[in-house]
Amino acid sequence: MAMADGEADSVELAYVATAREFREAFRVHASASAAGRLARRLLLGSAGLGVLVGAVPLFLGGTVRPLVLAMPGAALLGLVVLPWLQARYFHRRAAARGEHRTVVDWWGVTVTTDRGTDTMTRWAEVNRCAETPRAFVLLDPASPVPVLLPKRGAPADVARLRSVLDRNLTRHRA
């Protein structure tokens, strides 16, 4: 069957995103933004400083104040627990909408859910994409939430999906 020019550049995905895919997407999204990289550096610096401030009194024969342990603890929360909670929250919201049917074409990305929710993203609104082992992540600088395209949604068309994304977006290293 011959395809029209627009159909050849169109890929359809059907999926219910997993929490793991959302964790990957948010990790990539944070590493792609200057604010995300700065936040990670500050949290790592805070953890390192907390360990240093706690270790110096021990080396000098003193005791560590419990309050000093708050710095590495807060950094651990910011680096591990909060991203996990964020991914879990967005996974719950997405799962409540049911199966997602996504069309990626010359115009952009259109997502329709079982609940009838339509989300449209034009290529002009997204500047980069990243590929992870499980998904493609579209990075919109104005949005705190990345667009997630799980590869398992179109297992036979992953190469074609990659081609459409590469033709319209700049690649970000994940």
Q: Are strands 100-104 and 11-15 parallel, antiparallel or unpaired?
A: antiparallel
CA dihedral sign, ordered 82, 83, 86, 88: negative
DSSP one-letter code for 169: S
What local confidence, expressed as pLDDT, does residue 4 receive? 44
Best mean pLDDT range from 21-30, 33-42, 59-68, 112-121: 21-30
What local confidence, expressed as pLDDT, does residue 1 receive? 30
In tens, the pLDDT along 78-136 reads 888 988 999 999 999 999 999 999 999 999 999 999 988 788 889 988 889 999 999 99
3-state secondary structure of 48: helix
In tens, the pLDDT along 46-80 reads 888 888 888 888 888 888 787 777 888 888 888 88
Are 166 and 26 a contacting pair, CB within 8 Å?
no
What local confidence, expressed as pLDDT, does residue 174 receive? 66
What local confidence, expressed as pLDDT, does residue 8 receive? 61
Separation of alpha carbons 108 and 169, rounded Å: 10
